[in-house]
Amino acid sequence: MKTLYLLRHAKSSWEFEELSDHDRPLNKRGRHDAPLMGRELASHEISLDLIVSSSAVRALTTASLVAKELEYDTEEIVINEGIYEADTPGLLTIIKQTPDNLDTVMLVGHNPEITELANLLSPEHLASMPTAAVVGLRFNCEAWAEISQENAALVLYDFPKNHI
């Protein structure tokens, strides 16, 4: 069995016009929502073998805040430069290249691709994922190269507004 968590980065700030899109930080709501979602994941006793994040500041900050709540060493987060500009097939390729000795993986990325990937793999249709939303999918297979909608089960779909 393989389990994949897809996490959309938390709400980012548009306050700093001089920053590139890649370098935008989280805003106040994002800094609140990311740890909130981490605590929610922790309440489900989720333990991750690997977190892979986009190199964008907002995604990497989200990954770090969630990781802390899950007691995952933030130094072990793998930054994948390709996630930032990847299309949906590109994200799927990144996941399918995950070493098979890892069973539970989180990918932290951006919309619309993260929602498109969730819908590509989920047997149930999902609306556009809001910021800091997480989708959990469990696959009945032993290799990441074998994951597909046909062997998937949706095990989690959660987002911050569920907890207001």
What is the mean pLDDT of each successive set of 10 residues along the chain, which is 164 residues long?
A: 98 86 93 97 96 98 98 98 96 97 98 97 95 98 98 97 87
Q: Who contacts 135 (Cβ-Cβ below 8 Å, separation ≥6)?
A: 5, 6, 118, 122, 126, 129, 154, 156, 157
Task: Write out the E strands in 21-118.
Answer: 50-54, 78-80, 104-109
Question: What does each C-alpha distance from 83 to 45, 58, 119, 125 come to in angstroms?
Answer: 27, 13, 17, 23
Both tokens of 143, joined, read 């290799």
Domain 2-163 in CATH 3.40.470.10: no
Model pLDDT, residue 155: 97
Stated pTM of the model:
0.96
Model pLDDT, residue 17: 81
Domains of the chain, by residue range, sit at: 2-163
Residue 24 marked ligand-binding = no
Model pLDDT, residue 91: 97
Of 128, 127, 130, the closest CA to residue 62 belongs to 130
Model pLDDT, residue 28: 95
Element (H, E) at 18: none
Model pLDDT, residue 19: 81
Residue pair 132/160 in contact (Cβ under 8 Å)? The answer is yes
End-to-end CA distance of the chain: 33
